Amino acid sequence: MKTPDEKKPDAKYLALCGGVGGAKLALGLSHVLSPGQLTIMVNTGDDFEHLGLHISPDIDTVCYTLAGRSHKERGWGLENESWQMMSTLTELGGENWFQLGDRDLGLHLYRSRALARGESLTAVTQHICSSFGVKHTVIPMSDDPVRTMIGTERGELAFQHYFVREQCRPEVRSFCFRGAETAQLNPLCETLLNDRALKGIIVCPSNPFISIDPILATGQCREKLIACGKPLIVVSPIIAGQAIKGPTAKIMNELKVPCSSLAIAKHYSDIASTIIIDDNDRDEAQEIEQVTGIRVSSSATLMKSEQDKINLAMFVLSQLQTGA
């Protein structure tokens, strides 16, 4: 007989998420879990100060995606966006390598002011989500600044300089998550990890090196995930030797890591109990299990439609229940 906190309606889940790729699964999860069941903890290693504004690209992507406002093709930024501010800024010779839409700017100005007043990033994020009608809990990995620095052939670059300004061209050699060791893990995450209702942790199909590793490095998150003893499921961002989007494949090549779900499984071998790989890669399952000891299951992991996202979310939850 099940105890009350094991009933499905009470089961809670923690999703770790970066930007565009991860946000797709987060959206799927938000369709199949009630607001009280799902906490999405987002990477803030990409956050930066630009034009005097505090910008949190991954939080914004998750928030816009869950609010149904994200630009469908680009994945980041807003639908029906305009770019008038950028046109003046460009005319004045200002720094225009980072595109800031007009609607988006209202959020950056609001958040920057709130942070300057002393509000926490967690509180501002909750206010923004609630204003946009996002009912599930979206939290930053920490209220303290953590900054992903990319060691490249050309020296160390701040994340957005590497990712946007240099368009991921420099060859990557290493990563450093400045401030991660001393940053405090989001207290809401700490509480959740100690909550008996927490039934599993989901690592969304984000870039492991630049979206998930900063989270794991923050405030001993990795150690705390292991210590809590809850099942942790990774959705591999690799399909048939390719990353869906972004520089994951390029980075893996530069780090001399094969672009495969096996490499992803190895990367997470200390924390993962299950990895979901794409149906196309099903024949790798046995090797992954043998090499890493991680249970493997396969599904359609390419999320194009909303239904794809919901289907994958349901599969992830079913696997957590099976694996638990």
**Contact positions toward its own copies, by CB under 8 A?**
51-53, 81-82, 84-95, 101-107, 109-110, 112-113, 116, 127-128, 131-132
Provide the strand spans (E) within 7-132.
12-17, 38-42, 48-50, 53-55
Determine the 3-state secondary structure of 76 from DSSP.
coil
31, containing H or E segment: helix 20-32
| Complex with its own copies: residue 32 or 164, whichever CB lies closer | 164
Among 8, 17, 70, 48, residue whose Cα is nearest residue 205:
17
| Complex with its own copies: residue 96 or 253, whichever CB lies closer | 96
| Complex with its own copies: residue 95 or 153, whichever CB lies closer | 95
Residue type, 300: A
Q: Measure Cα distances from 255 to 5, 191, 202, 214 in Å.
A: 44, 35, 25, 17
Report the nearest approach of its own copies to the CB of residue 4 (Å): 38
Report the nearest approach of its own copies to the CB of residue 128 (Å): 6
Report the nearest approach of its own copies to the CB of residue 149 (Å): 22
Residue located via tokens 């869950």: 66
Report the nearest approach of its own copies to the CB of residue 15 (Å): 24
| Complex with its own copies: residue 161 or 266, whichever CB lies closer | 161
**Residue partners of 296: CB distance under 8 A and separation at least 6:** 265, 274, 275, 276, 277, 284, 285, 286, 288, 289
For residue 82, what is the DSSP state? -
Report the nearest approach of its own copies to the CB of residue 111 (Å): 8
For residue 210, what is the DSSP state? I
| Complex with its own copies: residue 130 or 167, whichever CB lies closer | 130
Q: Are 272 and 294 in contact (CB under 8 A)?
A: yes
Report the nearest approach of its own copies to the CB of residue 52 (Å): 6
| Complex with its own copies: residue 115 or 168, whichever CB lies closer | 115
